[in-house]
Each structure stands twice: as structure tokens, then as C-alpha cells.
Structure 1
Amino acid sequence: MNSPVFASLIPVVLFIAIGFLSGNRGWIRAGSVKDLSNLVFMVLTPALLFRTMSSVHLGDVDFAPIAAYFAAAGLVFGGTMLLLGFTSLAAARALANMFSNTVMIGVPLVGLVFGEAGLVTLFTLISLHALILLTAATVVFELAAARERAGTPGHEGRSMLRTVLMAVRNGIVHPIPLPIIAGLLYAQTGLPISLVIDKPLELLGQALGPLALLLVGVTLAFTTVGSHFRAALRIALVKCLVHPVAMAAVGWAMGLKGMPLAVMVVAASLPVGANVFLFSQRYEVAQDEVTASVAVSTALALITMPVVIVLVTRFLV
């Protein structure tokens, strides 16, 4: 066994377990989860993203693994739609099948296993992840919803262009892509960050991993799976197993190798991201199923991610 890999994974499992226990015992109340989530997304995450990307030059960034990732995600999404049909429900399940939790779990996990070099690759993906995948998903959802509304009295059609432009805007003006873009722009100036600013950013970034993982566990404690377990398990199996296999296959076909490919395969193995629930809520489809799939895929990923990481570190890195 690769002991450094398991040494990196132990804190991930431990923090999620502590968070689950804290929520289950009532030490953290359900009403506090949103506030903790805002702290992670609005303060800690931007600090880490900006500081890491502020020393990266665009000429050193390899976009080939990112292209392979989106190709693999497209295969999973398109394959799901082909199997289930062109409906809003199929779109919700397809999005859940390929949209990863790249921030809450991906950032601390990749940071522990691959270090800062791995984080640069992951942050490059994150800068485009929501923008490209959620914009494409918006188009599919709108087309499917329009098809379902066709001929229904009392429903006015939505402007496709306006909806897509709004999705693009929301994908850019967001606390995740913005600090990455700002950090890259600052890096191109060649100026170092003042120590007075750099040290607080470093401390905030160091707090992200533990708090984000604790928050995942707390969220799991307040999530009820219930009668949607089977549907959630199907999504979880595709997300945690089929998606990384598709990523590895596409990467191999494109001639990719080394740590960048390993990071992309690990990113594909991550559980379902919370943005999928926001889409299902907006389009009022499969809300309970998607919520359950986030919980089930996170629990399943605690078993599958170590296997994926051991395989990629042994054969790709």
C-alpha cells in the first residue's frame, strides 16, 4: 500500500466523521450550516484560490487535461441523456452524474495528496468547471423544459439567450472563479504579494481544508435519504466509478500522463457537487433525489476515492 496516500486520506475521513458526529449530536445546529457554508465559500476559499494562483504564469498552465476532463464529463452527460430521454428529470440526473464537488472535498483532498502543484491543476479546472458545465446544463434544462411546456396553456416561453447569458454571468461573478482569475492576472504583473497581505491569506487558506471537510460531515448528518436511496445510489455509482473511468479513458486516448491526468481522474471521482441541487430546485425536478445523491455519493466516495487515488499514484504519477 502507498502509505503517504493513506496518510493524506486519513484526515479527510476523520474530519468528515467528526463533522457528522457534531451534527448528529446536536453540537452544531442545522440552522448554522448555511452560515458555515458562507464562511467557507465567501472567505476561506477565495483566500486560498487567489494566493495559490497569484504565482502562476499562464505560459506554465497546461489546458490539455482540462479539455480532457470536459470531454469525459460531456460523454457521461450525453450518455445519460441518451439512455433516459430528453427531459428535465434526465437532465438533473445527467448533471448529478458528472458534476463534482471540486471545492469542499476536492481542494483539501488534492492539496493533501498532490501538494501545491496539484492544486494549480485543480484550480485551473475549477476556474472553468461551473462556468462551462452549468452553462451547458442550463441550455439543456431550458430546451427540455420548453419541450415539456409546449402546448401547455398558461405558460409563456422563456428567453433562451437571456437565460444562457445569465448563467454565464453567474459562472464568472462568483466567489470561486473570480479570485482565480484575479490571482492569475496579478501573477502576470510579476509583483510579489506583500507579507502583510500574504500571511493572512495563507492562514485563511490553511483553515479551508479542515473546516470544509467538517462542513461536509455536518451536512451529511442533516440529510435524509429515505425512499430515494436506490435512485441516489445509481447516481452515486455513475459519479464515483463511471466518471473517473471515462476520464482515465479519454486522458489515455489524448496521450496524457503524469500528475495532471492523475488530478483530473481524482476530480472525476469526487462525489456530487451542491450546485446540482440548486439546478434541481430552480427547475423543480428531482429535488429529493438529488439531495439524497449528494449524501450517498459522498458516503460512497469515502470508499472509492482511496482506491482511485492509490491507482493513479501508482500508475500515473
Structure 2
Amino acid sequence: MLTILAALTPVILVIACGYLIARTGLITGEQWRGVEKLAYFVLFPAVLFRTISQADFASFPTLNMGGALLASILCMAAVLMIIRTAIERIWGITPARFTSIFQGTLRWNAMIALAIADNVAGDLGLAMLAVAMVFMIPVLNVVSILVLSRYASGTAPSGAKILKDLVTNPFIVSIGAGVVFNISGLALPLVIDDTLEIFSRAALPIGIVCVGAGLDLGSLRRPGPALTLGTFLRPLVMPLLAFGFATLFGVSGPALVIVIIASSVPCASNSYLLARQMGGDAKLMAEIITLQTLAATVTIPAALLIFT
């Protein structure tokens, strides 16, 4: 327990610092957008490429991990679709609000996950989490867009647009490039490796500071069924499903830790942008992201303690 808390506490404190920096006005709104783009398009791709290009995939159960995570996602998505009519009828949750519950339950914040994985398991943890991204990011993007296009009032993007978004996603591109380089058997030139290492050292703190800056405590209204479901289904149910499927697929040790981290971190902040663009309930989405991130200070240590 103390080891888990020691690994998570720095991440939580950096998130808090990001929130305070944003509220003091030291960095303004548009400046934050630039910092976020730097982290998303440059720094984190550098981490992922360097980690994957040097990873020894034979040292951990790549396919088993991916299978457990995909099974968890698809199972939870199916459950949400099954209960959709019931929660709309019982609590008056509109289809647009359901899409925010759906995203809040399934999507994950890779920046927080990377920071925790690095603290808990070092380079091996980063490599395994990068592998998890390969399996999770495309599926989560597609199912979220499909649900929003069906139940929200916005205009659904075309299949070509969805495909373009996936193949130009900087995380997927950097992971793919890392895999190709890894398979080639080549070694990164020392000067390139050192350069990427500098980027890597900057990526995690800057990314986590941005997470804190994005929190909007003022957006939280009186909790209702939609906010409660959207906030707590993910941290309470997803780690349980992930643990069950990981056990079924024979995933254990550090790989199990990474599976639980990927399943218990809060919802991705870009879920808000997708909700706003496609006619979902963006306000509810912002509330879910904020409340989940606050709750994660308790729920992530609890999930790691219980399931690992």
C-alpha cells in the first residue's frame, strides 16, 4: 500500500500544481492550448517512440494484455448499451447525456496512465502501457464516435474522417513508428536517443500539469444520476472487469499492474471536445472528467491495492 501511494502521490501533487497555476493566471487559456499541443503532438510521441523502439516485446504478454483490455472495453460497452433504455426511463437521462456517461465510463487519460506507469514500473511499465494504447485507442475512438453519432444531435463524421483521425493520431503514429524501428533491429543513434530522452523527461510533468489546469471545479453542479453514473462506473466496474479478463488470459505480475492502471485512470480530457463537436452533453462531460480526476486520488490506489 505504501509503495502504491508513494508512486501515485507525486502525480497527484503535480495535478494539483497545474490546477493552482491555471487559477493564478500565470499561464492564460490560449497559452495552455499551446502547452497542451506541445505535450500531445511532440513530447508524448517522443516518449512512446523511444520506449517502443527499444522494448523487448518477448519479455511481457503483449497479446494477452491486449486481449484482456479489449474484452473489458467491449464487455462494458455492451452493458451500457443494454441498460441505456432502463436508465433513460428510470432517471430521465436523455440520449445526449447517455453519450457522456458512455465516454466517461470507457475512455481513459493516457497522460495520467503514463505518469503512473513510469512511477510504478519504470521503462518496462511505459513499454507495456504503450502496447495497451495500440489496442485501446483505435477501438475507443471508433465506438465513442459511433455512439455519439447515433444518440447525440450532432453531425457524425464520415468513415474516411474517422480513419484519417486514427491514422494521424500522434500517439498511434509514434507507436507504429516505434514498432517498425524495433522490428528492424536497428539501434537509435546515441545523439537521437539522448535527444528523445530529454523530451521524455519533459513530457510527463508537462502533461500532468495540463491535466490539473483542465480541471474546472466551478462546473460541478449538484450531483444527479447522470453525473454519478458517469463518474463512478469507470473506477468501480472497469478495474473489476479488467482483472477478471486478465485472470482469464493469464496476465499477472507487472503486466497485470499496467492493465489495472489503464482501466482505473480517469476519463480522457479530449472526451469533452468530442462531446462538444458531435452534439453530446459537453457540460456533463466536463463534470465527469473533473469529478473522476478528483476521485482518482482514492480509486486508483484502491484498485491497485485490491487487484494487484
Match of 1:63? 63
Aligned residue among 101, 104, 125 for 1:118: 125
TM-score (norm 1): 0.86
CA distance in 2, matches of 1:10, 1:144: 38
Aligned residue among 195, 211, 220 for 2:190: 195
The AA in structure 2 aligned to 1:7 is: A
CA distance in 2, matches of 1:69, 1:168: 22
CA distance in 2, matches of 1:165, 1:228: 40
The AA in structure 2 aligned to 1:48 is: V
TM-superposed deviation, 1:95: 2.1
Aligned residue among 242, 246, 256 for 2:251: 256
The Cα offsets for residues 176-215 of structure 1, whole Å up to 9 and x where unpaired, read as: 1101100110111111111111111001101111111111
Equivalent residues of 1:131, 1:168 under 8 A apart = no
CA distance in 2, matches of 1:90, 1:63: 32
TM-superposed deviation, 1:73: 1.4
Match of 1:77? 77
Match of 1:45? 44
In the TM superposition, 1:230-269 aligns within 5 A as 230=224, 231-269=226-264
1:271 paired with 2:261, answer: no
Equivalent residues of 1:33, 1:215 under 8 A apart = yes
Match of 1:106? 113
The Cα offsets for residues 241-298 of structure 1, whole Å up to 9 and x where unpaired, read as: 1111121122223333222122111111010112322221122121100011111100
The AA in structure 2 aligned to 1:76 is: M
TM-superposed deviation, 1:139: 2.7
Match of 1:299? 294
The Cα offsets for residues 71-116 of structure 1, whole Å up to 9 and x where unpaired, read as: 11122222122212394442332122111112x2011111100111
Match of 1:164? 159
1:21 paired with 2:16, answer: no
TM-score (norm 2): 0.89
Q: 1:240 to 1:83 in 2, by over 3 A?
A: same
CA distance in 1, matches of 2:128, 2:169: 19
Aligned residue among 94, 104, 107 for 1:96: 104
Structure 1 unaligned segments of length 5 or more: list them. 150-156
Match of 2:137? 130
The sequence identity of aligned pairs, in percent, is 23
Which segment is superposed worse, 30-39 or 228-237?
A: 228-237
Q: Output the aligned Cα RMSD.
A: 2.2
The Cα offsets for residues 221-240 of structure 1, whole Å up to 9 and x where unpaired, read as: x4532336433333111111
In the TM superposition, 1:197-212 aligns within 5 A as 197-212=192-207
TM-superposed deviation, 1:31: 2.6
CA distance in 2, matches of 1:216, 1:235: 19
Q: How many residues align?
A: 298
CA distance in 1, matches of 2:222, 2:176: 39
Equivalent residues of 1:81, 1:90 under 8 A apart = no
Q: 1:4 to 1:226 in 2, by over 3 A?
A: closer
CA distance in 2, matches of 1:141, 1:226: 23
